[in-house]
Amino acid sequence: MFLVAVAGEAPALKPPPAARVTRKKAVETAVAWLVKNQNKDGSWGKFTSGRTWEVSAHVPGGLYAFRAASTALCWLGLNDVVHQPEASKKAQARALAWLVKHARVKRPHSGELYNTWAFGYGLRALSQALRKKAPGAPPAAIRKTAEAIVKAMDLYQTPDGGWGYYDFRSKTYKPTWSTSFTTATIIVGLREAESAGIAVRPLTLERARANVLRCRKPDGSYLYGTYMKWRPMHRVNQPKGSSLRTQACNLALRLTAGGLPKDRMRAGLQQLVDHHRFALAGVRRPIPHESHYAVSGYFYLYGQQYAALVLEHLSAGERRVYAKRIVSFVLKARQPDGSFWDYPLYGFHKPYGTGYALIALARCRDV
């Protein structure tokens, strides 16, 4: 990510506070935080920043994309957990109504495609809303927006079959740069859409799966993107640098034709456990990839969320073992106010982080 200067004062870097609450208490306080901090229009997140430096995000499109992606994650988190107070149900209904109107975000800039994140998470939220008949918007309206996003996925799929969030080299109408984990994120969204009865072109998924497979290394880690095929031992491509991103890629392969054996998914989770110290070292560092093995803070809760989704494909005994570790990892990003965050991003880090955390904690109920 590129950095730009913004007005404000940069916060001091502090290590995550020690987790001193139970999973149940963490869920309840996170839900309360989201309910309290929802925008009046139903979305989450602010366009303002109190830091000296920020990632590049062209105004207003880049911030619209962050807001849509964050809102989708918050809806998913609130909808996933067992804890469903009336205030949360009302917040979910307002958020779904907002997503139907705003999840199909336009491309912010020729070099920025942050809308791919809004598409991946927006599809998941809208598809889940269809399957569960969630209140907030008519099913026909939800389906229409989801179908528009699926159509956009064909437009933004790169020649190598993937999706990315930047394209500073070519800046063409059809993007040319992709990453393995963004591609995996979109695959998961597209498969969710299919489960809700929304048509997805088989060729789109076939090309996307092939992209992720080309990035998979014999040691179970993944290249950041196919563009790094000549630098497979770059630090970000090693298991210590890949462990958080590996979970999404493994899940994407598991969900597509050809699948992925359970033992490889289990091995990926073990890498997450074995290399956790490198994952945690990047948390809340404001400059992308500045930590050991080029780990960025925004990998952290992203990776824990997908690790929790991977659990659903393992045996009950294996789920209990790894769920305990995932809960302990997630709680390390918890704040005293009940929110979670791993990387400073304008006014979106707490909403998206809390959404990720709830999605993960919802799948670790045995802990």
Q: Are 99 and 126 in contact (CB under 8 A)?
A: yes
pLDDT tens digits along 29-65: 999 999 999 999 999 999 998 888 888 889 999 999 9
Q: Is residue 247 part of a domain?
A: yes
Whole-number pLDDT of residue 82: 98
CATH of the domain at 212: 1.50.10.20
Q: Is residue 108 part of a domain?
A: yes
Average pLDDT along the chain: 94
pLDDT tens digits along 165-206: 999 888 898 999 999 999 999 999 999 999 999 999 999 999
Q: Is residue 238 part of a domain?
A: yes
pLDDT tens digits along 272-297: 999 999 999 999 998 999 999 999 99
State which residues form the domain around 19: 3-362
Q: Does pTM surpass 0.75?
A: yes
- Considering only CA atoms, which of 351, 342, 357 is closest in space to residue 67? 351
Q: Is residue 164 part of a domain?
A: yes
Helices (H), the chain: 23-36, 61-80, 86-102, 115-132, 139-156, 180-195, 202-215, 239-255, 262-274, 276-281, 300-311, 316-331, 349-362
Q: Is residue 252 part of a domain?
A: yes
Q: Is residue 367 part of a domain?
A: no
Whole-number pLDDT of residue 109: 86
For residue 60, whether the previous peptide bond is cis, meaning omega lies within 30 degrees of 0, is: yes
Calculate what percentage of the chain has a pLDDT beyond 90: 87
Q: Is residue 60 part of a domain?
A: yes
How many structural domains comprise the chain?
1
Q: Is residue 280 part of a domain?
A: yes
